[in-house]
Structure 1
Amino acid sequence: MNSQLKKLSFIAVAILCLTPWIQPPVALLLGFVFSLLIGHPFLRYNGKVTKILLQVSIVGLGFGMDIYEAAKTGKTGFWLTVSSIFLTMTLGLLIGYRLKIKRKTSLLIASGTAICGGSAIAAIAPVVDANEEETSVSLATIFILNSVALFLFPYIGTLLELSQQDFGLWAAIAIHDTSSVVGAAQKYGDEALQIATTVKLARALWIIPISLLISVVFKQKKSKLKIPYFIFLFVVAIVLNTYLAIPEVVSSTIVLVSKKGLTLTLFFIGAGLTLTSLKSVGIRPLLQGVLLWIFISISSLYVIINHLF
């Protein structure tokens, strides 16, 4: 396939993902299949576009939320978030040590699982001065598990007859990347989406204290900390939606566009995955990621179902 036709095909599939017929998990799969069979014609722009689109879409979701409900949700998941982050980080490092995984790779996988997937890895990698291989292996490990979660979690939630609130909380705690959290929750229902987004973004703010703590441990005084500022814009959107008389047709349109933006984001994420990155993972880092993921998924589900928080 020539370059021009490849570009047109990519754009056509991307537009298809904006239609009502394509659900978030399907968009991710379409992106991966396109990358595998044809190749990403805009690969060098993929990372930046994906990041911007994800952040803008999440801020847009804030126009469908109420500040009081969001605060209540954040308070509900606070202690579960704190305990799960530190337990996962500790267990992750222990597993990495036992499996004899490189220290920095182990830390990145543990951080990605504990906080918010690729965003946490991207923030912490420069703090510990991780090289390209260590970062790539960690990102690929997390991506593989994210992809599985996007399909598996809504199925398990339906099977267990989880409420919208319980599923939203579970997705926010147990799925790594924000994109996969909102994708799975969006498939499950609107209430689950609101809860999952709020709790996950509150969780993502833990990048800041964890990164500072790690910089002290690794003695990296000159490292640059990446703060997820878009989360504050998400809060601003919620406040505006709560206190301004924004017409329902406007706010609902913004939320609808944002949801489709998230679906398109997952298509780009899938398209950005290559066989080379998958092959680079290795069995031990993947095993660490899987064991950690099983731990956080089962333990958080047990706590949520039994309302032990």
Structure 2
Amino acid sequence: MSQNNMAYVGTTTNFKPKSRLFRFYGGILFTLAIAAIGTVASNLPILDRIGAMLTSILIAVVYGNVFGYPESIHTGIQFSGHKILRFAIILYGFKLNIDVVINQGGLLLVHDILSILVAISITVLLGKLFKGEKMLTLLLGIGTGVCGAAAIAAVSPVVNADDEDTALGAGIIALVGTVFAIGYALIRPILPISPVQFGIWSGISLHEIAHVAAAAATAGPNALEIGLLAKLGRVFLLIPLSMILSLWTRRNKKQGEAKRAPFPWFLIGFLAASIIGTYFHIPKIILKEISDVIGPFLLAAAMVGLGLHVNVSRLRNRALRPLLAMLIASIVLSVFSYATLWF
């Protein structure tokens, strides 16, 4: 072999590892960069109403449909959309104070269970009636009943949802939840309920923690405190719900595939984070940084990785009917949970 050929072989051999590193780290940095842009942009008028995660998803969807999916960094994007997603859900566990939920939110847990049952069952039933996409409909029902995009992100790997369904579900739930939060704040002055009742109503019916905080805060600090407590109960119920879904998924798989059904190990991490945040003496400023800054940012980056898969031309066929089912279910949940305040 000539020296030129030997040099060429050596160059090729050295290039491949660099290429693999670029596909991996380049993809991760790409999703983090878009999440950072989305986080900054979410401070702008209008975008400040929908939040950093939805803004990041929208940027990713626009990029993917205008410039195409960046295949050259696919490995890192996939890592963000799956591995970083699970890590973000684990960090989300620091938001959950188990001791407060168990000792102070006992009765509220009954409301929370009813909310989850109503939201999921009505969304799924309407999805079947409207002949909507089954998986996307299920994700929207879970997001409506439990804790919005975080719930969708948590259960997606459990029920084997694809990336497009997960990104669509998270984006829809964040947008609709924002509209409902604004609506709650606007109608609060005309409702014949106390600030505490309004906080409970917000906590047991609105989609995300941020939506509950935004709506309940308009009724004062007591409403905000009880609203967040009610919402944390729904977050707590994400753990048993995910376990039930895992068993359901395994049972519905063919016998030969049953062993390959994934167990949601990351939810053990979610529970561990909740226990650490509740019972270990960690400075509140550190917990707040993890749960309110690092966790949401990583979740936004993960959603960017999923949002790049969304094909806008398919949105009308795939998302319209599940969206309609989820909208009706959200209205029913609001009315139902309002009625339960008097019992």
- Cα distance in 2 for partners of 1:265, 1:231 equals 15
- Cα distance in 2 for partners of 1:20, 1:148 equals 13
Aligned position for 1:28? 53
Aligned position for 2:279? 240
- Cα distance in 2 for partners of 1:144, 1:15 equals 17
Identify if the C-alpha distance between structure 1 residues 9 and 167 changes in structure 2 by more than 3 Å, giving closer, same or farther.
same
Paired residue for 1:225, among 263, 279, 293? Answer: 263
Question: Match for 2:320: what amino acid?
Answer: L
Task: Report SS of the residue matched to 1:224.
Answer: coil
Instruction: Summarize deviations over 1:178-222 as a string: whole Å, max 9, x none.
Output: xxx233345455634454234223234212124324544556543
Q: Does 1:264 align with 2:297?
A: yes
Alignment gaps of 5+ in structure 1: 126-133, 176-180
- Cα distance in 1 for partners of 2:58, 2:299 equals 13
Instruction: Summarize deviations over 1:269-288 as a string: whole Å, max 9, x none.
Output: 55332373444344365313
Question: Match for 1:95: what amino acid?
Answer: L
Q: Is the 8 A contact 1:109 1:121 kept in 2?
A: no
1:12-91 pair list within 5 angstroms: 14=36, 17=39, 25-36=50-61, 43-47=77-81, 48-56=83-91, 58-62=92-96, 65=97, 67=99, 69-72=100-103, 74-91=105-122
- Cα distance in 2 for partners of 1:9, 1:199 equals 29
Q: Is the 8 A contact 2:181 2:211 kept in 1?
A: yes
- Cα distance in 1 for partners of 2:123, 2:31 equals 41
The answer to which structure, 1 or 2, has the higher relative contact order (CA under 8 A, 6+ apart) is 1
Shift of 1:123: 0.7
Shift of 1:307: 0.7
- Cα distance in 2 for partners of 1:289, 1:103 equals 12
| Structure holding more helix per residue | 2
Shift of 1:232: 1.8
Paired residue for 1:184, among 204, 207, 211? Answer: 211
Aligned position for 1:151? 178
Question: Match for 2:51: what amino acid?
Answer: V
Q: Is the 8 A contact 1:172 1:200 kept in 2?
A: no
Aligned position for 1:131? none
Whichever of the two has the greater Rg, that structure is 2
- Cα distance in 2 for partners of 1:277, 1:38 equals 11
- Cα distance in 1 for partners of 2:138, 2:43 equals 39
Identify if the C-alpha distance between structure 1 residues 164 and 254 changes in structure 2 by more than 3 Å, giving closer, same or farther.
farther
Q: Percent identity?
A: 13
Shift of 1:155: 1.2
- Cα distance in 2 for partners of 1:38, 1:284 equals 20
Q: How many residues align?
A: 283
Question: Match for 1:27: what amino acid?
Answer: A
- Cα distance in 1 for partners of 2:155, 2:86 equals 13
TM-score by structure 1 length? Answer: 0.68
Shift of 1:96: 3.5
Aligned position for 1:212? 247
- Cα distance in 2 for partners of 1:49, 1:29 equals 17
